[in-house]
Each structure stands twice: as structure tokens, then as C-alpha cells.
Amino acid sequence: MIAFRDIFITGLLLGGIFALVSVGLTLQYGVARVLNVAHGEFIMVGAFMTFWLLGSANLNPLLSVAITGPVAFIMGFILHKTLFRRLMDTSPSLDIFEGKSLLASFGLLYVVQNLARIIWGSDVEGYNFLNSTVTAAQIPLNRLVALAFVVVLGGAFYFFLARTRLGKAIRASAQSPTTAELMGVDIRNVLAICFGLGLGLAAIAGSLLSTLFAIQTSIGLGYTVIAMVVVVMGGLGSITGAMIGGIILGLVSSTVTFFHPSLTMIAYYVIFIVLLLARPKGIMGK
Amino acid sequence: MKAIQMTRDKSVTLGLLIVAFLILALLPQFTSGYLVTLLIDILKFAVLTVAWVVFSGPTGYMSLATAAFYGLGFYIAAVFSGTVPFPLLIMLAGASAFVVALGVGALTLRLRGVYFAIFTFALVLLVQNVVLEVERVVTQTRGRFVETVSTEGVYYAILIVFFLTILAAMLIRRSRYGLALQSIGEYEEAAAHSGINVVWTKVLTFATSAVFMGMAGAIIATRRTYIDPYIAFNLNTSFLPVLMAMFGGMGNLVGPVLGAALFTYIGEILLTRFPDLYMLIFGVVLIVSILFMPNGVLGLAQGVWRKMRGGGHAPS
């Protein structure tokens, strides 16, 4: 029973983080049409920035989110304004743009990962943060804090998309960029904002992950694959789908890890491939 | 008149090909070891790139599965090395890649656009993890050893496979299959309605291109004494041929070969000059070449040529 409770709580926590990461990727693919294989690298960047801020300025890891998120947002915004905007303007069709941006983001993966390796090295790093257990339940405090944080952040982001003017513009652009533009949405800025928000969410997820697990400059690709699985699971471009898919995959992950840790990665791929073949449109896909 | 022109074009191409083959075949007799090693690398990427273009060029389906078939070749070489002669080993690798690609293609080629790219991307990582796990449980090791072959042997093997790849690519391009593939890339439904067996054409071409990837894998595996799943199923092997094809241009078969040669050479220079910054600079080169050369080097050269001759006249 206790095992079941642990699996469930870890699953929810992982699921919440996966959901953040995947909403980020779905904003980039679903709205900005960039299938960013470098997405996970920004999780790593967020994690290392938090680690570095803790070491140099003794900044609380939870507070560092207020720095890592905006920094990654600005990076994403600039990247889209320079690199992907130009690709979009020179590509004759959407298919070609998608292919080219996938390749460009692969180049980006190299650049970010190797810059990080030059700055932070390739050792495994980690620190202790709130890892005392809550006495009655024996659950590490950092997990509960991170879980609460993910819930608040997810809620706030959902509110932003559902209620604010910019959120509405983003959702409209996800449905049809051309129509959104005709309705007066400043599409160029909205796409760049979406790309920036995607990277911002990735970096925030990275900051939270660094409070829980050891980090390394090579962790990015694994999370990119997780985000892709979740995004396909939820339906490309569906934000609600990415949230639900993230939580499902988190629960699957903690269950498989509990019984047979070395099969976790394989479980992700099997789910992914079965899903692609059985229901490529995803849970919320139309 | 036109028919005569075409046969003349054909014989010129064939003649050039034979001359190139002879020069490359005689090269190891005259030059140093380094050039041969570099040429092995270039030919390897040329095989992968041309094989990739055979399927993905006309159809527009971006396959990222190259590393899966190439890595399969690695493992065939590792499992059978020492027990089977080298040429048979290569054929075995080609045949298994064909069979696996037939299965993968039949399962996945109904996925369209970016789904196919994502699927093939994940396939490489899935195979890597499965092999890792199988080795851990069954053999309780991580890697395997491969019996080496002399540098010259490897060179001639990859050279022959390279010319087979080019030959196959030319034949497919000029046959009914090539036209069928082209029309699938342009408008799949229309192709199906005009009587093309769309699924069979796609799957068969996909599997044919995998043969050469598998063969290249088996040959190059003998250059290494030790292989493991991370070396065999490396995502770079999937992405580099795509980039080389784009870098060179996909309009004809010269482009991909040129792209592979230039890109490999640039990579080699970067690796020797800046070993620490190699990957970083490589990433920048990738991004810049995608950004500024939408039609590849060949397209760029043609553009400059056209400008020099004054004005944008279409070729008559």
C-alpha cells in the first residue's frame, strides 16, 4: 500500500514536470511549427543555471525559477525572430519549413549542448535541497514542494491561455495562423512569443528537476524524447492534451521504474510507437 | 533527335562514372594512408546520403531511420565476424537491413509528414535501448568486438558499395518506379488514383535504400575493434545524411555526393584543428548552411553562374 502511494505521488510529480516540458514543446510545434529537438537542452540549461546560481549567489532554487524562465524566454524569442523567421520566409511550403526547422534545431542542439559542456563541464552534479522527509508520511519534502509548485504554475499558465488576450491570440494561432492574422493577431510576434514560452517552460522544469535529481550536460535528449511522446500522445498542438499526456506518462514512468528501472526508456518508446500506429491523432486530436 | 540526345547523355554519364571508378580504384596504389582513410569516410557518407536521397528525395518523407539500418550492419558484422568471409558478411547485412526495413516500412509508411520523421527518430533510440538491454541481460556486457579487415580491403568494399548505390539510384530514378515516387511526393492521392500501388512502391524503395545503409554499416564496423549500442545507433548517422543532401542539393545525384564529400572534409578539418570546439562549430555550420543555402552548394553555384552570364534566363 505504501509502495502504491509512493508510486502514485512520484508519478504525479514526474507527470507534472513532464506536462510543463510538453506544453512547452507543443507551443513550439503546434503553434510555431518548429519540431524543436533541442527542447531538452533548455531543460538542462535551466537546471545548470539553478545549480550555478545556488553555488555562486546562494539563491534558493525555487526562487531561481524567476530568472531561468525569463532568460530562456528571451533566448527563444530572439532565436525565433532571427533563425526560424528567416527559414519560414525562405521556405516555399509548410512541409519544407517543418523539415528545415527540424534540422536547424538539431544544429541548435549541438550548439547549446557544447556551449554548456564548455561552461559547466561534463560531470554529474547535484545538491541537497529540502530532502528531509515529512515525518508522518515519509515522503521527501522536496518532492511535495516541487509538486505544489508544478500545480500552481500549471494552473497559472492555463489561466493565462484561457483568460488573457495574448492567450486567446495564441490559441487562435494554433487553430489557424492565417485566420488569426486576418482577425488582427500580430502573428509574427505571437509565434516568437510561443517559441520563447516553450523554452521558458523547459527551463523552469529544468530548475525544478535539479532540486530532485542529479544533473549532467547530456540529460537533454532524454527529456526531448519524453516531450515528443507526450505531445504525440496528447495530439500535436493540443495544450490540454499535453497536460493530460504528461501526467499519464509520469504515472507510467514511476510504475515501470518501481518494478524494473532499466526498462523505463523502453517503455516510453513502446508506448510511443504503439500510439503512433494506433491513434496518431492523440487523445485530444481531431 | 531527342532520343539520340538522351542516349548520348546516358553514355557520357556512364563513361564519366567508369573513369571515376578507375581513378578511385587505382588510388591506393599511389597515395598515402591518410588520403585512403579520408576517402573511406567520404565514401561511407556518400553511400548513406545517396541511399537516403533515393527514398526521401522524391517522396518528401523525411526518414531519420538511417542510423537504425547502419547500426544493424554494425551488429551483423559483430555477431558474424570471424565465422563468415567479408563479402558474405556485407551481403548478409544488406539482406537483413532489407527485411527489417520492409517490416518497418509496412508498419509506418501510412504515417504522413512530420509523424513519419518523429517515428523514425524514435525508432533509432528504441533499437539502441533494446539492444543495450538485451546485451545487459543475455551477454552481460555493453559492447562487442569486431574482427578488423585491412584498410585496403575496407576501401575497396566501400568503393564497390558506393558504385552499386549510385547505379541503383540512377536505375530507380529513370525507371517507372522513379516517376511513381516523384508523383507520390507531389500528390499522393492523385498518384494512387492513376494506378500506382502507393504503399508497395514506398515500402520497396524504403527497403532498397536500407540495403546500402546496412552494407555500409557492416563495412565500417570492421574499422573499429569495439562497438556498443551508442556507437552503432548514433543519431548523428541519421541527421548527417539529411544535412549533406541539403548541403549538396537534391536535384540530381552529383549534389548529394558533393555534399557528403565537402561536409566530411570540413568535419575532418574542424576535428583536427579544433578538437574541443569541433561539435560546437559543426552545429553552427549546420545552422548556417540550412539558413543561407536553401538549394545546396550546387544550387548556389548555379545561381552565381547564372548571374555571371547576365540575367536569369531559364535553361533552354
Q: What is the ipTM of this complex?
A: 0.81
pLDDT value for A188: 86
d(CA B218, CA B239): 19
∠ at Cα B152 (B148, B158), nearest 5°?
85
What is the rounded CA–CA span in Å between residue A172 and residue A183? 9
In the block, cell 516517376 appears at B179
How far is A136 from chain B, CA to nearest CA, in Å? 38
By C-alpha distance, the chain A residue nearest B136 is A262
pLDDT score at B314? 45
Residues B263-290, mean pLDDT to the nearest whole number: 85
Q: What is the pLDDT of residue A29?
A: 87
Average pLDDT over residues B173-194: 86
Distance CA B2, CA A103 (A): 40
Assigned C-alpha cell, A51: 545549480
| Cβ–Cβ below 8 Å for B242 and A103 | yes
pLDDT digits (tens, 9 = 90+) for A3-59: 788 888 888 888 988 999 999 998 898 888 888 999 999 999 999 999 999 888 888
Distance from CA of B191 to the nearest CA of A (A): 19
DSSP A130-197: S-PEETTTTEEHHHHHHHHHHHHHHHHHHHHHHHSHHHHHHHHHHH-HHHHHHTT--HHHHHHHHHHH
Mutate to test the interface with B, among A41, A80, A269 (most CBs of B within 10 A): A269
Query: Which among A33, A102, A277, A279 is the top mutation candidate for probing chain B, defined by the most B β-carbons within 10 Å of its own β-carbon?
Result: A102
Cβ-Cβ contacts under 8 Å, B285 against chain A: 107
- What mean pLDDT, rounded, does chain B reach? 84
Cell output for B191: 498518384
Distance between CA atoms of residues B96 and B214, nearest Å: 8
| Spatial distance between the Cα atoms of B210 and A31, rounded to a whole number of angstroms | 34
pLDDT of residue B59: 87
In a mutagenesis test of the A interface, which of B276, B290, B300 is the best target, namely the one with the most A β-carbons within 10 Å? B290
Asked if residue B48 has pLDDT above 90, the reply is yes
Quick one: pLDDT at residue B1? 44
- Local confidence band at A109 (pLDDT 50, 70, 90 cut-offs): very high
Integer Cα distance of B176 and B184 in angstroms:
12
Q: What is the pLDDT of residue B313?
A: 46
Residue for grid cell 552481460: B140
pLDDT at residue B300 above 70? Answer: no
Which three three-digit cell numbers place residue B181?
515516387
Question: What residues of chain A lie within 8 A of the CB of B280, using their CB?
Answer: 110-111, 114-115, 118
Q: CB of A33 within 8 A of CB of A94?
A: yes
For residue A127, give the DSSP letter. -
**Using 50, 70 and 90 to split pLDDT, how confident is the model at A251?**
very high
Taking CB atoms and an 8 Å cutoff, what residues of chain B touch A221? 235
Cell numbers standing for residue B137 = 541481460
Residues of chain A positioned with their CB less than 8 A from the CB of B122 = 225, 228-229, 269, 272-273
Tens of pLDDT, residues B80-135: 887 888 999 999 999 999 999 999 988 887 777 778 888 888 889 889 988 988 88
Smallest CA–CA separation between A180 and chain B, in Å? 23
CB spacing of A273 vs B122 below 8 angstroms: yes
Phi-psi region of A58 (alpha: psi -120 to 50; beta: other; left: phi over 0): left
Residue A21 lies in a domain: yes
User: Does pLDDT of B8 surpass 70?
Assistant: no
Total Cβ atoms within 10 A of residue B108:
21
* Residue A139 β-bridge partners: A134
| CB contact at 8 A, A170 and A190 | yes
Q: Which residue has the cell 526531448?
A: A224
- Please compute the mean of the pLDDT values over residues A67-72 and round it to a whole number: 94
Confidence category of residue B307, pLDDT binned at 50, 70, 90: low
> Is the pLDDT at A169 greater than 50, yes or no?
yes
Annotate B53-91 with b (16+ C-beta within 10 A) or e (fewer): bbbbbbbbbbbbbbbbbbbbbbbbbbebbeeeebeebbe
Give the C-alpha distances (Å, rounded to integers) separating A108 from A239, B243, B286, B297: 24, 13, 9, 21
Residue A286 within a domain? no
The answer to whether position A204 is within a domain reads yes
Identity of the residue in A91, A103, A262 whose CB atom sits nearest the CB atom of B133: A262
Of A90, A101, A106, which to mutate for an interface test with B (greatest number of B Cβ within 10 Å)? Answer: A106
User: Are the CB atoms for B313 and B271 separated by under 8 Å?
Assistant: no
Tens of pLDDT, residues A116-151: 999 988 788 877 776 666 555 666 777 778 888 888
Q: Which of B238, B250, B235, B240 is nearest to B293 (CA)?
A: B250
Share of chain A above pLDDT 70, in %: 94
Number of structural domains in chain A: 1
Q: What pLDDT score was predicted for residue A200?
A: 94
- Residues from chain B that touch A118, judged by Cβ atoms under 8 A, are 276-277, 280
Residue A124 amino acid letter: V
pLDDT at B315: 44
Measured between CA atoms, the residue of chain B closest to residue A92 is B294
Q: Which residue has the higher pLDDT, B301 or B2?
A: B301
Q: Which three cell numbers stand for residue B212?
A: 546500402
**pLDDT-based confidence at B266, cuts 50/70/90?**
confident
- Residues A32-67 as b/e (b if ≥16 CB within 10 A, e otherwise) read bbbbbbbbbbbbbbbbbbbbebbeeeebebbebbeb
Assess A121–B contact: CB distance below 8 Å, yes or no: no
Q: Determine the Cα–Cα distance for residues A151 and A244; give it in Å rounded to an integer.
A: 13
Q: Which of B136, B246, B285 is nearest residue A103 as measured by Cβ atoms? A: B246
pLDDT of residue B260: 92
Which CA distances in Å does A122 have to A56, A116, A118, A218?
A: 19, 9, 8, 8
**Is A110 close to B62, i.e. CB distance below 8 A?**
no
DSSP alpha helix (H) spans, chain A: 2-26, 39-57, 61-79, 85-90, 94-120, 141-163, 165-175, 177-182, 187-212, 220-234, 239-259, 264-278
Cell numbers for A214, please give them. 542529479
Listed as own residue / partner, the contacts of A59-67 with beta carbons closer than 8 Å and 24 or more positions apart are A61/A127, A61/A129, A61/A207, A61/A210, A61/A211, A62/A145, A62/A149, A62/A207, A62/A211, A64/A207, A65/A149, A65/A204, A65/A207, A65/A208
Phi, psi values for residue B162, rounded to 5°: -60, -50
Quote the pLDDT of residue B316. 38
pLDDT, position B5: 54
How far A100 CA sits from the closest chain B CA (Å)?
7
What residues contact residue A162 under an 8 Å CB cut-off, 6+ apart? none
Residues of chain A with Cβ-Cβ distance to B62 below 8 Å are 99, 102
> Per the domain annotation, does A283 fall within a domain?
no
Range of the domain at A40: 2-278
Q: How far apart are CA B184 and CA B178, in angstroms?
A: 10
Q: What is the DSSP letter of A122?
A: S
Q: What is the pLDDT of residues B75-94, one digit of tens each?
A: 999 998 878 889 999 999 99
Burial of B226 (0-12, 13-18, 19+ CB in 10 A): exposed
**Section B182-191 average pLDDT:** 86
- Please report residues of B whose CB lies closer than 8 A to that of A35: 114, 117-118
User: How many other C-beta atoms are found inside a 10 Å radius of the C-beta of residue A200?
Assistant: 28
Instruction: Give which of A129, A132, A165, A171 is closest to A149, Cα–Cα.
Output: A129
How many Cβ pairs closer than 8 A exist between chain A and B? 101
Whether B4 has a pLDDT exceeding 70, the answer reads: no
A235-247 pLDDT, tens digit per residue, is 877 888 888 999 9
Class of residue A86 by CB neighbours under 10 A (exposed 0-12, middle 13-18, buried 19+): middle
A34 in B contact zone (CB under 8 Å):
no
Residue A228 with chain B: CB contacts under 8 Å: 118, 121-122
